[in-house]
Amino acid sequence: MDHNGNLHHSYYTCGQDHDKQNREWKPFKLLEQNCEGFGYDFLEARDMVQERIGRRLRCECEILN
């Protein structure tokens, strides 16, 4: 909340167009980095997340909001 009592929200966005032709778009960049750091298999981790939330994801920013 700001000093006027207004509630502000922030959210994460990857900042890229969700298009496979966009070379700058890395749809699971943070998940891949975390999996690498902890020694987890990225594809298994992604599948587990998708199974848990009950839908397929195009980008991790869809779950980080």
In 1-65, beta strands by DSSP E: none
Measured CA to CA, the distance from residue 16 to residue 26 in angstroms comes to 8
Distance CA(65)–CA(62), nearest Å, equals 6
pLDDT tens digits, one per residue of 11-38: 678 889 999 899 999 999 999 999 999 9
Nearest of 13, 17, 49 to residue 34 by alpha carbon: 49
pLDDT 10s digits, 34-61: 999 999 999 999 999 999 999 999 999 8
Q: Is the pLDDT of residue 1 over 60?
A: no
- What pTM did the predictor assign? 0.71
